[in-house]
């Protein structure tokens, strides 16, 4: 294995304050398309190209996506898409960071990948006379040998939190604990996770004794998946839960599932269209008698979902439709839809919309006695509802100079 560190330098450095006029049209124009990829750092470090703020002005569109790795690191996939004189020229590079990597290490690793990808375009016709390369090579012998992974690809995480807030007539305490264990390989995916949240709020209402309210949530979930090629996966998932908000003293659910991805899984950084079906059983024990006169019950159920994730030069789409149903009573079902669309409509104009909606017909745990005013105002109990929804829009229009390579950090960003 060869370790490469690549540095590309332009023949002339930019002025310290970057007050030079816009670069000439002969220089390569690049559009950086990413979220949380240290764009300011990339623009300040990679100076042999011009950066534009609109994709329609670019000759090279660099689309950077990210995904978490099994060990807690991040895999960055950089898709280089040629336009204009580079139309049809493209490739995808990947770089993986470690979970303990600092921000500086991560951003420099991304910068190295961007430089490597842009070199293909920079030298497509001829090597520029002012181009200087500095390549540092290392070999595996420069690093300590890895005898084996004593953890066998298992990654564990433990997190705790505490919050305290108060005023003269109100005090609030919140404590949380979260644990997880994951083992992810190309053929297997095993994830285990648990959460405990306890919230206590105390009110002084000019009475002899203060009013105390509590809300507790406990949850343990697991997932096991076996890869069956580029399109199919087989797995099982389950959950053990306790929630005062849901009137659930104990809920246990388990279901085998099968998933089909219409695109190859190897294209996950750009597009996925996954259909999943699961059938299983859920068992409940309630704190209070429900509106159906139950203190405990066991019900078979099934669930079908379709998920689309796609990111292209024109924007991105994320959408999920999920339908679930109890088999003992087919009228007890729920339909959920969620979507987010971000589109670059025209030069400088982009629109985004996010929607979430649910049709609810399967609330088995609603208490028969109803909820008190305090429980409603403080959201201590789930209320009976036939639907839920949320909708938001965003529109952005920018105009002016197409170049965006200047970074000025004064007074913060």
Please state the domain count of the chain: 2
pTM of the model: 0.71
Residues 244 and 355 in one domain: yes
Is position 147 within any domain?
Answer: no
Same domain, 43 and 124: yes
Q: What is the CATH number of the domain that holds 296?
A: 2.40.160
Query: Are both 126 and 188 inside the same structural domain?
Result: no
Q: How far apart are CA 185 and CA 70, in angstroms?
A: 8
77 and 108 fall within a common domain: yes
Q: Could you please report the per-residue DSSP string of 199-258?
A: EEEEE--SSSS-EEEEEEEEEEEEEEEEEETTTEEEEEEEEEEEETTTTEEEEEEEEEEE
In a domain, 412, yes or no: no
- Contact residues for 147 (Cβ-Cβ < 8 A; gap 6+): none
Q: Domain range for residue 249?
A: 154-397
- What CATH number should be reported for the domain holding residue 82? 3.40.50
Question: Which pLDDT tens digit goes with each residue over 295-330?
Answer: 999 999 999 999 999 887 788 899 999 999 999 999
Cα-based distances in Å from 326 to 222, 300, 323: 21, 6, 11
Same domain, 66 and 22: yes
Residue 18 pLDDT greater than 80, yes or no: no
Q: Are residues 240 and 265 in the same domain?
A: yes
Task: Label residue 101 left, alpha or beta by phi (over 0 means left) and psi (-120 to 50 means alpha).
Answer: beta
Position 137 in a domain: yes
Read off the pLDDT of residues 187-217 as tens digits, 9 standing for 90 and up: 999 999 999 999 988 877 766 677 788 889 9
**Same domain assignment for residues 187 and 133:** no
**405 lies in a domain?**
no
Residue 122 sits in the same domain as residue 158: no
Single residue among 116, 142, 168 that ends a domain in this structure = 142
Q: Is residue 408 part of a domain?
A: no
Range with the lowest mean pLDDT among 40-54, 166-180, 350-364? 40-54
Predicted local distance difference test score (pLDDT) of residue 136: 67
Residue 355 maps to a domain: yes
For 113, the enclosing helix (H) or strand (E) is helix 103-122
Q: How far apart are CA 145 and CA 135, in angstroms?
A: 24
406 within some domain: no
Tell me: pLDDT of 19 over 50. Answer: no
């Amino acid at each position: 294995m060869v370790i490469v560190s690549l540095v590309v330098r332009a023949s002339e450095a930019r002025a310290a304050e970057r007050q030079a006029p816009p670069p000439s049209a002969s220089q390569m124009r690049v559009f950086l398309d990413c979220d949380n990829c240290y764009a300011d750092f990339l623009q300040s470090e990679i100076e042999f190209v011009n950066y534009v703020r609109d994709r329609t002005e670019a000759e090279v569109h660099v689309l950077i996506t990210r995904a978490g790795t099994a060990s807690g690191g991040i895999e960055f996939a950089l898709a280089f898409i040629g336009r204009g004189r580079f139309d049809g020229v493209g490739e995808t590079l990947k770089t993986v960071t470690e979970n303990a990597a600092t921000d500086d290490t991560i951003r420099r690793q991304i910068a190295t990948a961007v430089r490597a990808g842009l070199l293909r375009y920079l030298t497509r016709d001829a090597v520029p006379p002012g181009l200087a390369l500095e390549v540092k090579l290392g070999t595996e012998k420069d690093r300590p040998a890895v005898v084996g992974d004593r953890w066998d690809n298992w990654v564990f995480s433990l997190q705790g939190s505490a919050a305290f807030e108060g005023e003269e007539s109100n005090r609030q305490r919140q404590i949380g604990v979260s644990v997880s264990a994951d083992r992810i390989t190309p053929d297997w995916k095993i994830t285990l996770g648990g959460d405990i949240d306890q919230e206590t709020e105390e009110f002084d209402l000019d009475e002899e004794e203060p009013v105390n309210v509590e809300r507790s949530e406990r949850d343990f979930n697991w997932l096991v998946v076996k890869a069956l090629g580029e399109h199919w996966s087989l797995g099982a998932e389950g959950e053990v839960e306790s929630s005062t908000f849901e009137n659930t003293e104990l809920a246990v659910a388990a279901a085998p599932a099968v998933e089909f991805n219409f695109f190859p899984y190897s294209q996950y950084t750009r597009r996925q269209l996954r259909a999943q079906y699961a059938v299983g059983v859920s068992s409940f024990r309630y704190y209070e008698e429900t509106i159906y006169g139950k203190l405990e019950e066991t019900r078979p159920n099934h669930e079908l979902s379709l998920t689309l994730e796609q990111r292209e030069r024109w924007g991105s789409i994320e959408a999920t439709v999920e339908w679930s149903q109890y088999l003992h009573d087919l009228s007890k079902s729920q339909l959920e839809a969620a979507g987010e669309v971000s589109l670059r409509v025209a030069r400088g104009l982009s629109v985004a919309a996010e929607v979430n909606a649910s049709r609810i017909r399967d609330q088995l745990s609603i208490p028969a006695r109803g909820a008190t005013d305090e429980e409603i105002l403080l959201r201590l109990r789930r209320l009976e509802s036939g639907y839920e929804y949320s909708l938001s829009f965003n529109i952005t229009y920018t105009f002016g100079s197409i170049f965006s390579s200047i970074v000025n950090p004064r007074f913060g960003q």
